[in-house]
Amino acid sequence: MRSDMIKKGLERTPHRALLKATGIPHSEMEKPFIGVATSFTDLIPGHAGMRDLERFIEKGVHTGGGYSLFFGIPGVCDGISMGHKGMHYSLPTRELIADMVESVAEAHRLDGLVLLTNCDKITPGMLMAAARLDIPCIVVTAGPMMSGRGEAGRKFSFVTDTFEAMARYRAGVIDAKELQVCEDNACPGMGSCQGLFTANTMAILTETMGMSLPRCGTALAVSALKRRIAFASGEKIVELVKNNVTPRSILTRAAFENAIRVDLALGGSSNTVLHLLAIAHEAGVELPLETFDLLARETPQIASMNPAGKHFMEDLDTAGGVMGVLKQLGDKIIDNPTVFGLTTHQLAASVQLVDEDVIRPLTDPVKQEGGIAILFGNIAPQGAVVKQSGVSDAMMKFQGTARCFDAEELAMAAIMEGRIVAGDVVVIRYEGPKGGPGMREMLAPTAAIMGMGLGDSVALITDGRFSGGTRGPCIGHISPEAAEGGPIALIKDGDRIELDIPKRKLELLVDEATLAERLSGWVAPEPKIKSGWLARYAKSVTSAYTGAVMKA
């Protein structure tokens, strides 16, 4: 065992003394040491209930014949950090989380890891660490929140009933009383936000790739089932250690393609593009950005999930969950091993019934193509990402007039003050991985556009990124970014921009000679943040089309 390096032999007498100082009995020294990386925090509703799950993981580890050792991992709530300086830190924490898990596991020679996680950047950070370390690991995602409930069976959700409700109030569509009702009911308790936003999409993809147990990706945070999954995961990690089943045997090219297909089939978050690219990088799997688009053209969207659709995570779970989606996708899913022991095909075959009102058959899809499309053009030579599942038919093709803003706050003010009108293309730049720094999410301006009733007449493009809660014609991850002199930096107010999602085009309708002249006069701006972790991050982070990973 790896842990023998800190507990076996004469020369490890001092090490054993320190271990015994933590309370470990001598009799437990022969057992596998299982690290439990827990991202519990009172700051995030998706993580506030993890103390309960920690107990069940611990029971499972000891039942399985291991000894559990807990250590903490930080988390940032995207919803709370959004719209101010805090959002600069969200994506960069993914790298910190991966580094911290690696550091503790290597320094203490842990035999295996249970990775207790839930929200947006924490789950991919944990998976990056698992792929990098390649020691036995299992992921426990803490589960989605229940939808809020109102009169006459109305269901409330975080994005629709906070960010979009705020804009509807500003537009005079709802009054202060209704806004308060939304605020009080949008988030009724513990768990990750109820729709197919980034946290829940990543939980589903973690299960799809085989890194967590069946039902883990959809079982609700408050359920007894989630407790049982936590216990079973604790038991399972000891078995994985004994059999030396490591993440790279599971995180194969097939696993990533399966994850992409499930994301496309459900219409999940566009942030998964960044995260799957980064996890694949750590796993040593080649995964070009174009793969998402190639698979999107042959993978129908078979579910209508909130925020762009009508169903919530609780509906998906009872309809068949991830295994139900695998069953409906059939031969489009590649057989691959999982931590559970059964392969993906075996898991799909084990499903008896699927609620086809929620998870439709391939013969009756919601849309013919998957939820994400990759666009190219003279604005995005290295690619851009759009969640086409959230775009209305009327906006799949659009020409508009550029309205340029060099920061999210400037664009948000223009939208809320009514200065953005039908026919505009809002351009938000210098918000990429390097320029932001941190590639902030643009949920506030995109939700404001929807709430102001402009979702079918205004588009938004950015070198930043979007929340999984974003819907509408919003194109992000534009590469190269403005801070690197990408073409998005050269757009001027009044320029015409063409969006054609079916043809995968994003074009600035300005001739090449004019663009060359503008580029010759372009000067790189001063960094927005010049000290601390973010300044270091900006110097080392790569482009969005590579997953915004850190240079070695």
- Domain positions in the chain: 31-146+189-349, 149-185, 373-546
- Tokens describing residue 237: 């990690």
What confidence tens digit (pLDDT) does each residue in 314-347 have? 999 999 999 999 999 999 999 999 999 999 999 9
Cα–Cα nearest to 518, from 482, 478, 477: 482
> What gap in Å lies between CA 441 and CA 402, rounded to an integer?
20
Rg over alpha carbons for the chain, rounded to the nearest Å, is: 23
SS3 492: coil
- The token duo for 502 is 């079916």
CA distance linking residue 212 with residue 459, whole number of Å: 37
531 a catalytic residue: no
Tokens of 162: 């906070």
- In the numeric block, the tokens 């990386």 are attached to 37
Band (6; pLDDT cuts 50, 70, 90) = very high
Sorting pLDDT into bands at 50, 70 and 90, what band is 472?
Answer: confident
**CA-closest candidate to residue 487, choices 415, 398, 402:** 402
| Residues 6 or more apart in contact with residue 264 via CB below 8 angstroms | 292, 295, 296, 299, 301, 369, 370, 371, 372
Of 81, 212, 304, 467, the active-site residue reads 467
| DSSP letter (8 states) at residue 144 | B
**Distance between CA atoms of residues 469 and 109, nearest Å:** 39
DSSP reduced 3-state for 474 = strand
Whether the predicted pLDDT of 476 surpasses 90: yes
How far apart CA 361 and CA 343 sit, in angstroms, is 21
Report the distance separating Cα 276 and Cα 35, nearest Å: 24
User: Under a CB-based contact definition with an 8 Å cutoff, are residues 375 and 384 in contact?
Assistant: yes
What pLDDT was estimated at residue 167? Answer: 84
Q: Name the nearest CA neighbour of 463 among 370, 550, 381, 345.
A: 381
Residue 163's pLDDT is 84
Mean pLDDT computed over every residue of the chain: 95
Q: Do 246 and 135 touch, CB atoms closer than 8 A?
A: yes
Q: How confident is the model at residue 171 (pLDDT cuts 50, 70, 90)?
A: confident
Backbone angles phi, psi at 426, to 5 degrees: -75, 125
The angle, 0 to 180 degrees and rounded to 10, between the axes of the packed helices 90-107 and 271-283 is 30
The residue type of 9 is: G
Q: Find, among 473, 481, 492, the residue nearest to 528 by Cα.
A: 481
CA-to-CA distance for 551 and 212, rounded, in angstroms?
29
CATH number for region 31-146+189-349: 3.40.50.2300
Confidence band of 552 (pLDDT split at 50, 70, 90): confident
Band of the pLDDT at 469, cuts 50, 70, 90?
Answer: confident
pLDDT at 321: 97
Q: Among 154-158, 248-252, 290-294, 482-486, where is mean pLDDT lowest?
A: 154-158
Cis peptide before 307 (omega within 30 of 0): yes
Asked whether the bond before 437 is cis by omega within 30 degrees of 0, the reply is yes
- 80 — pLDDT class (breaks 50, 70, 90): very high
Q: Report, at the CATH architecture level, how domain 373-546 is classified.
A: 3-Layer(bba) Sandwich (3.50)
Q: Are 442 and 428 in contact (CB under 8 A)?
A: yes
| Rounded to 5°, angle at Cα 92 from 87 and 96 | 130
d(CA 473, CA 400): 12
User: Is 142 in contact with 47 (CB distance < 8 Å)?
Assistant: yes
The per-residue pLDDT for 451 is 86
Q: What per-residue confidence (pLDDT) applies to 152?
A: 77
